[in-house]
Amino acid sequence: MKVRVLGLDPGLRRTGWGVIESDGARLHFVDAGCIAGDNDATLGERLAALHSAVAAVMAQFAPDEAAVEETFVNMNPASTLKLGQARGAVMLAPALAGIPVAEYSATQVKKSVTGSGHAGKDQVQGMIATLLPGFRGMGADAADALATAICHAHHRNTHARWAAVAGSR
Protein backbone atom coordinates (compact mmCIF):
# COMPACT_ATOMS: atom_id res chain seq x y z
CA MET A 1 0.00 0.00 0.00
CA LYS A 2 1.44 3.36 -1.03
CA VAL A 3 1.67 5.98 1.70
CA ARG A 4 2.74 9.56 1.09
CA VAL A 5 4.81 10.94 3.96
CA LEU A 6 5.68 14.57 4.65
CA GLY A 7 8.89 14.93 6.63
CA LEU A 8 9.57 18.19 8.45
CA ASP A 9 12.75 19.59 9.99
CA PRO A 10 11.50 22.66 11.88
CA GLY A 11 13.33 25.89 12.51
CA LEU A 12 12.47 29.58 12.71
CA ARG A 13 15.03 30.61 10.13
CA ARG A 14 14.80 27.56 7.86
CA THR A 15 12.32 24.70 7.91
CA GLY A 16 13.10 21.79 5.64
CA TRP A 17 10.31 19.74 4.12
CA GLY A 18 10.38 16.59 2.06
CA VAL A 19 7.73 14.34 0.56
CA ILE A 20 8.25 10.67 -0.22
CA GLU A 21 6.04 7.77 -1.15
CA SER A 22 6.54 4.51 0.68
CA ASP A 23 5.33 1.29 -0.90
CA GLY A 24 6.46 -1.43 1.48
CA ALA A 25 10.25 -1.28 1.44
CA ARG A 26 10.31 0.87 -1.71
CA LEU A 27 10.84 4.59 -1.31
CA HIS A 28 10.13 7.17 -4.00
CA PHE A 29 11.20 10.81 -3.96
CA VAL A 30 8.36 13.26 -4.65
CA ASP A 31 9.75 16.70 -3.82
CA ALA A 32 11.59 18.68 -1.16
CA GLY A 33 12.44 22.22 -0.26
CA CYS A 34 13.03 24.77 2.43
CA ILE A 35 10.80 27.42 3.97
CA ALA A 36 12.86 30.51 4.78
CA GLY A 37 11.65 32.70 7.63
CA ASP A 38 11.70 36.49 7.64
CA ASN A 39 14.29 37.47 10.26
CA ASP A 40 12.80 40.99 10.52
CA ALA A 41 9.29 39.74 11.38
CA THR A 42 8.01 39.35 14.93
CA LEU A 43 7.97 35.89 16.46
CA GLY A 44 4.20 35.66 16.04
CA GLU A 45 4.41 36.67 12.39
CA ARG A 46 7.18 34.15 11.76
CA LEU A 47 5.20 31.33 13.37
CA ALA A 48 2.06 32.23 11.41
CA ALA A 49 4.02 32.35 8.14
CA LEU A 50 5.66 29.01 8.94
CA HIS A 51 2.29 27.39 9.64
CA SER A 52 0.82 28.81 6.42
CA ALA A 53 3.79 27.63 4.35
CA VAL A 54 3.55 24.08 5.71
CA ALA A 55 -0.21 24.10 5.04
CA ALA A 56 0.53 25.16 1.44
CA VAL A 57 3.02 22.29 1.01
CA MET A 58 0.39 19.90 2.35
CA ALA A 59 -2.26 21.26 -0.01
CA GLN A 60 0.10 20.76 -2.95
CA PHE A 61 1.30 17.24 -2.10
CA ALA A 62 -1.60 15.74 -0.07
CA PRO A 63 0.41 13.62 2.40
CA ASP A 64 -1.23 10.72 4.25
CA GLU A 65 1.06 11.05 7.28
CA ALA A 66 3.65 13.48 8.61
CA ALA A 67 6.84 13.08 10.62
CA VAL A 68 8.69 15.76 12.56
CA GLU A 69 12.15 15.73 14.08
CA GLU A 70 12.09 16.32 17.84
CA THR A 71 13.63 19.44 19.32
CA PHE A 72 17.34 19.25 19.98
CA VAL A 73 18.00 20.75 23.41
CA ASN A 74 21.05 22.97 23.29
CA MET A 75 22.89 25.13 25.80
CA ASN A 76 20.76 28.22 25.14
CA PRO A 77 17.30 27.81 26.72
CA ALA A 78 15.86 30.74 24.74
CA SER A 79 16.91 29.14 21.43
CA THR A 80 15.48 25.80 22.51
CA LEU A 81 12.17 27.45 23.43
CA LYS A 82 11.94 29.25 20.08
CA LEU A 83 12.70 26.03 18.22
CA GLY A 84 9.95 24.34 20.22
CA GLN A 85 7.53 27.07 19.16
CA ALA A 86 8.51 26.58 15.52
CA ARG A 87 7.95 22.84 15.96
CA GLY A 88 4.49 23.53 17.35
CA ALA A 89 3.57 25.71 14.36
CA VAL A 90 4.85 23.03 11.97
CA MET A 91 3.03 20.17 13.75
CA LEU A 92 -0.23 22.13 13.91
CA ALA A 93 -0.69 22.21 10.12
CA PRO A 94 -1.02 18.43 9.59
CA ALA A 95 -2.79 17.95 12.93
CA LEU A 96 -5.52 20.44 11.96
CA ALA A 97 -5.90 18.62 8.63
CA GLY A 98 -6.47 15.32 10.47
CA ILE A 99 -3.15 13.88 9.33
CA PRO A 100 -1.28 11.76 11.91
CA VAL A 101 2.01 13.31 13.05
CA ALA A 102 4.85 11.10 14.31
CA GLU A 103 7.90 12.40 16.16
CA TYR A 104 11.45 11.05 16.01
CA SER A 105 14.66 12.03 17.72
CA ALA A 106 17.61 13.20 15.61
CA THR A 107 19.45 10.03 16.64
CA GLN A 108 16.58 7.81 15.41
CA VAL A 109 16.43 9.69 12.12
CA LYS A 110 20.18 9.48 11.47
CA LYS A 111 20.32 5.81 12.44
CA SER A 112 17.42 4.94 10.13
CA VAL A 113 19.13 6.58 7.16
CA THR A 114 22.86 6.03 7.74
CA GLY A 115 23.07 3.23 10.31
CA SER A 116 24.74 5.60 12.78
CA GLY A 117 22.89 7.83 15.22
CA HIS A 118 25.80 10.27 15.24
CA ALA A 119 26.21 10.75 11.47
CA GLY A 120 27.13 14.19 10.18
CA LYS A 121 25.04 16.31 7.83
CA ASP A 122 27.23 15.38 4.84
CA GLN A 123 26.72 11.69 5.53
CA VAL A 124 22.95 12.14 5.83
CA GLN A 125 22.81 14.11 2.56
CA GLY A 126 24.88 11.45 0.81
CA MET A 127 22.59 8.65 1.92
CA ILE A 128 19.49 10.64 0.97
CA ALA A 129 20.91 11.08 -2.54
CA THR A 130 21.55 7.32 -2.67
CA LEU A 131 18.16 6.25 -1.28
CA LEU A 132 16.15 8.85 -3.22
CA PRO A 133 17.85 9.40 -6.60
CA GLY A 134 15.67 12.41 -7.49
CA PHE A 135 17.07 14.41 -4.58
CA ARG A 136 19.97 16.58 -5.70
CA GLY A 137 21.46 19.67 -4.14
CA MET A 138 18.40 20.84 -2.24
CA GLY A 139 20.33 21.57 0.97
CA ALA A 140 20.78 20.14 4.43
CA ASP A 141 17.37 21.22 5.73
CA ALA A 142 15.52 19.44 2.93
CA ALA A 143 17.77 16.37 3.35
CA ASP A 144 17.02 16.29 7.08
CA ALA A 145 13.29 16.49 6.37
CA LEU A 146 13.54 13.63 3.87
CA ALA A 147 15.55 11.63 6.41
CA THR A 148 12.72 12.15 8.91
CA ALA A 149 10.19 10.93 6.34
CA ILE A 150 12.34 7.86 5.61
CA CYS A 151 12.67 7.14 9.33
CA HIS A 152 8.88 7.24 9.62
CA ALA A 153 8.41 4.99 6.59
CA HIS A 154 10.76 2.40 8.10
CA HIS A 155 9.09 2.56 11.51
CA ARG A 156 5.55 2.41 10.14
CA ASN A 157 6.42 -0.65 8.01
CA THR A 158 7.88 -2.41 11.06
CA HIS A 159 4.80 -1.62 13.15
CA ALA A 160 2.52 -2.84 10.35
CA ARG A 161 4.39 -6.17 10.21
CA TRP A 162 4.16 -6.52 14.00
CA ALA A 163 0.42 -5.85 13.86
CA ALA A 164 -0.04 -8.43 11.10
CA VAL A 165 1.83 -11.06 13.11
CA ALA A 166 -0.12 -10.24 16.27
CA GLY A 167 -3.40 -10.40 14.33
CA SER A 168 -2.61 -13.84 12.93
CA ARG A 169 -2.19 -15.38 16.36
Distance CA 28, CA 122 (A): 21
21, 31, 122, 141: the catalytic one is 141
Q: Is 9 a catalytic residue?
A: yes
3-state SS string for the chain: CEEEEEEEECCCCEEEEEEEEEECCEEEEEEEEEEECCCCCCHHHHHHHHHHHHHHHHHHHCCCEEEEECCCCCCCHHHHHHHHHHHHHHHHHHHHCCCCEEEECHHHHHHHHHCCCCCCHHHHHHHHHHHCCCCCCCCHHHHHHHHHHHHHHHHHHHHHHHHHHHHCC
CB-based contact 27:147 (threshold 8 Å):
no
Please identify which of the residues 9, 21, 65, 144 carries the catalytic annotation.
9
Q: Compute the residue count for the chain.
A: 169
- Would you name the residues annotated as active-site residues? 9, 69, 141
